[in-house]
Chains A and B, each alone.
Chain A
């Protein structure tokens, strides 16, 4: 119980850090850390029924989110030769304040939603929603394609958090399917970033709408 709460607080902190961080490399590392922390969640949330199933889920998550994705994103950043600044539409301080607002809204919303009794922690649903909304916010408020991929990963982490909390109800297949989807998505996005960069010399999405001969 307590271990789950510590993980959930770490997820909240990493999300806030992402909203306020100005460095691309640091952002990628923070998302990787969030992935590793969340990988431990299924093992710690369901200690009473420790099984191979959770161990596999944890190992797969840590390997993908903690190692493969960051490596892939760092590679994309290196090959696209972008600068290390994040370049947001919405400033860092405003983003942080928006993050706090999103957290409040998530808590308010989860008070009103009917929740299953078996959730591992009362913070689980609000934190999951917070990750989803924070991910969406990161996608719409950042210029760079790499940052939008990070936002997408945070969003997916939120879905995953909720899924793990409900693990006894959902099958492992669903989790594994989501993980596979994300893997393919990040793979495709990485290639796209590379191609956008080769065509346009930059990966700023606000400038993609103007056509180039």
Chain B
């Protein structure tokens, strides 16, 4: 454990809601609006934390435990993901499997809580969420396996830290494929536009937002914060692949933060210029991402 290992953790905890703010600002800019303030998500979290929660009589303790356990799972995942060249707090071989597993655990509790409300509407959202993430997970794992193979290490910290300019020169196409696959996974896992529209409420087409309709107050704050952390973590994977090691830690930090905000801007641009895919097309997109990752893995073997 190094002292600089706390940097990824602290930055993730403090700055992750800012990414959502940047995405919203980018979308507003494209639409010609002023948009909400960059810190709007912080204000929302503050407001939600000071509210009381209302629980339906149909729900059991599972509904109350869902958001807390989900947040706990993603907080554990935060300790595993490095930021650029800053190693993660905890690193051991094959920790990327634990990372994928923790994201799965978070989803599992969200789905349980949604099913616990007894609403058929939330059951539908839960079913979609599980279906799409089942397709996105192989893409994530194969992409990470490709990275592991190229970096010759099974730990996320060394994996993302060692992929550098040299790798890009030799295996640029392979890494580019992995990056595109990870980007699609990022959009799908965070319920972003080609897969799901985060702005639609009470629509029959939505996926993630429908599962959290019955949560309110602090519970909903936990869910929003957990979603922001998840976006931050997946963005950190993408950025970690690109940002080179310069040696000077302040420059590294500036580059990584620039990369994170750039990913947020890209997500905002994608949301502004694309329409949401029809629901039957989403599996095709996700299987396509998996195919890209698999092709990268095979090409990387040679």
Do residues A123 and B302 form an inter-chain contact, with CB atoms below 8 A? yes
Q: Which of B169, B284, B291, B302 has the largest number of chain A CB atoms within 10 A?
A: B291
Do residues B288 and A16 form an inter-chain contact, with CB atoms below 8 A? yes
Q: What residue of chain B has the Cβ atom nearest to residue A21's Cβ?
A: B284
Chain B nearest CB from A66 CB (Å) reads 22
A169 to B201, CA, bound (A): 64
Do residues B291 and A2 form an inter-chain contact, with CB atoms below 8 A? no
Q: Does A151 contact B (CB under 8 A)?
A: no
Chain B nearest CB from A72 CB (Å) reads 29
Name the segment of B105-113, B145-153, B292-300 touching the other chain. Answer: B292-300
What string of 1s and 0s marks CB contacts (under 8 Å) between A83-101 and chain B? 0000000001100110110
Do residues A103 and B298 form an inter-chain contact, with CB atoms below 8 A? yes
Q: Which of B173, B287, B291 contacts A9 (CB 8 A)?
A: B173
Q: Does A128 contact B (CB under 8 A)?
A: no
What string of 1s and 0s marks CB contacts (under 8 Å) between A1-34 and chain B? 0100110010011001000100000000000000
State which size class the interface on B falls in. 10 to 19
Do residues B284 and A12 form an inter-chain contact, with CB atoms below 8 A? no
Do residues A5 and B287 form an inter-chain contact, with CB atoms below 8 A? no
Do residues A123 and B299 form an inter-chain contact, with CB atoms below 8 A? yes
What string of 1s and 0s marks CB contacts (under 8 Å) between B55-82 and chain A? 0000000000000000000000000000
A210 to B177, CA, bound (A): 45
Chain B residues with CB under 8 Å of A104's CB are 294, 298
Do residues B291 and A5 form an inter-chain contact, with CB atoms below 8 A? no
A123 to B284, CA, bound (A): 26
Q: Does A192 contact B (CB under 8 A)?
A: no
Q: Does B101 contact A (CB under 8 A)?
A: no
Q: Does A122 contact B (CB under 8 A)?
A: yes
A20 to B286, CA, bound (A): 12
Given A6-B172, A92-B284, A93-B283, CB of A107 within 8 Å of CB of B298? yes
Do residues A122 and B302 form an inter-chain contact, with CB atoms below 8 A? yes
Residues of A contacting B: mostly: helix
A156 to B295, CA, bound (A): 21
What string of 1s and 0s marks CB contacts (under 8 Å) between B88-103 and chain A? 0000000000000000
Chain A residues with CB under 8 Å of B288's CB are 16, 20, 96
A96 to B139, CA, bound (A): 13
Chain A residues with CB under 8 Å of B295's CB are 12-13, 16, 100, 103
A122 to B170, CA, bound (A): 13
Chain A residues with CB under 8 Å of B202's CB are none
A19 to B124, CA, bound (A): 30
Q: Does B31 contact A (CB under 8 A)?
A: no
Q: Does B274 contact A (CB under 8 A)?
A: no
Q: Does B1 contact A (CB under 8 A)?
A: no
A16 to B296, CA, bound (A): 12
Given A103-B295, A122-B302, CB of A96 within 8 Å of CB of B287? yes
A203 to B201, CA, bound (A): 45
- Counting from the closest, the 7 A-B pairs by CB-CB distance are A9-B173, A122-B302, A100-B294, A93-B287, A100-B291, A96-B291, A107-B298
